[in-house]
């Protein structure tokens, strides 16, 4: 019969050991591929966070610097800037006489001060400036201001959506007045956001006493100026602004450790209060020369 003539053949398969070896090799290759994939994702997120921080930081720093350069503009009669200079560009004091802001009963919360909110272990600063608009322009809230109108603006940190999420904001007085006025300086919108996700904001006052130059914190300057008498009150010639900015999203990187990562300001290092979320953080700083520096020399040489 045909069936009897059929020749039986034997087919060999993989042994159990060979299968196990193949599975292990496959897992190793898959793990390596997965590691490369995850590494690429982390790298992409780090780059995205860095680009976001750079865009936000550079824009915010330049925006502040542009406005602060206007401080003291229109104050030709008082080129030497201290805590009692009438119409002084850096507003440290208020009152009818011997003060920067020539108004009485102004809340200290609207002046240049320390003690603001932050997301690190120390308080943030607020910088308040005043000037006469040199031309038609927009104030920091985007409202049109005409030439020769009085402008007063304050820069500070405030909550943005939640108490733990802070942003650098700027609040301006109401436009339309050629006289000193704080109307609208503390309105309901609490200022327009200039830079989101700012953990810390500090301003240091570059000051001269004779030929000596030193950077003071706001509180240090107030104390030194209070204890000094004319002509030895430190003269403010520059502002050094420093801010710590964080990314929008967390990044799973072994290079980030919020428990130990510290950031150095002029008066010490700080660590974020959130020690669990791995945000990318970056420091930004700028030094702004105030227009009273040159005016001081002209003023002194004219005597």
* Residue with the two structure tokens 């208020």: 94
DSSP H helix total and E strand total for the chain: 4, 13
- Predicted local confidence at residue 302, as pLDDT: 34
- Predicted local confidence at residue 4, as pLDDT: 54
Residue in 126, 129, 114 with CA at minimum distance from that of residue 173:
129
Number of residues that make up the chain: 303
DSSP letter at 90?
Answer: B
pLDDT digits (tens, 9 = 90+) for 40-89: 655 655 566 556 666 666 788 888 999 999 998 988 888 789 999 999 99
Q: What are phi and psi of 243, to 5 degrees?
A: -145, 145
pLDDT digits (tens, 9 = 90+) for 88-104: 999 999 999 999 999 99
Q: Which strand (E) or helix (H) includes residue 276? A: none
Rounded-to-10 torsion of CA 122, 126, 168, 262: -20
pLDDT digits (tens, 9 = 90+) for 189-236: 789 999 999 999 999 999 988 788 999 999 999 999 999 887 788 999
- Predicted local confidence at residue 245, as pLDDT: 92
Each domain of the chain, given as residue ranges in start order, spans 41-301
- Mean of the per-residue pLDDT values for the chain? 85
pLDDT digits (tens, 9 = 90+) for 246-260: 988 888 778 788 899
Q: Alpha-carbon torsion 142, 143, 148, 152, what sign?
A: negative
The pairs formed by 261-265 with CB atoms below 8 angstroms and a separation of 24 or more are 263/120, 263/200, 265/200, 265/202
């Amino acid at each position: 019969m045909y069936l009897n003539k059929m020749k039986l053949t034997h087919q060999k398969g993989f042994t159990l050991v060979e299968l196990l070896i193949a599975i292990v090799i496959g897992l190793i290759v898959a793990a390596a591929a997965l590691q490369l994939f995850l590494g690429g994702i982390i790298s992409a997120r780090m780059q995205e966070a860095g680009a976001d921080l750079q865009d936000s930081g550079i824009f915010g720093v330049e925006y502040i610097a542009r406005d602060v350069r206007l401080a003291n503009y229109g104050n030709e009669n008082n080129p030497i800037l201290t805590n009692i200079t009438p119409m002084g560009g850096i507003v440290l004091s208020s009152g009818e006489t011997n003060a920067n802001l020539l108004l009485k009963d102004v809340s200290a919360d609207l002046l240049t001060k320390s003690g603001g909110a932050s997301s690190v272990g120390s308080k943030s600063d607020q910088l308040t400036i005043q000037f006469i608009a040199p031309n038609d322009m927009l104030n920091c809230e985007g409202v049109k201001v005409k030439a020769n109108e009085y402008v007063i603006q304050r820069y500070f940190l405030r909550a943005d959506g939640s108490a733990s999420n802070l942003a650098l904001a700027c609040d301006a007085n109401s436009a339309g007045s050629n006289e000193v006025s704080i109307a609208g300086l503390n309105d309901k919108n609490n200022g327009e956001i200039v830079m989101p996700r700012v953990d810390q904001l500090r301003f240091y006052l570059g000051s001269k006493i004779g030929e000596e130059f030193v950077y003071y914190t706001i509180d240090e300057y107030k104390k030194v100026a209070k204890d000094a008498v004319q002509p030895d009150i430190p003269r403010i010639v520059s502002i050094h602004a420093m801010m710590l900015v964080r990314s929008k999203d967390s990044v799973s990187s072994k290079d980030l450790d919020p428990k130990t990562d510290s950031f150095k300001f002029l008066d010490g290092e700080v660590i974020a209060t959130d020690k669990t979320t791995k945000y990318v953080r970056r420091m930004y700083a700028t030094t702004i020369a105030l227009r009273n520096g040159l005016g001081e020399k002209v003023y002194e040489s004219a005597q």
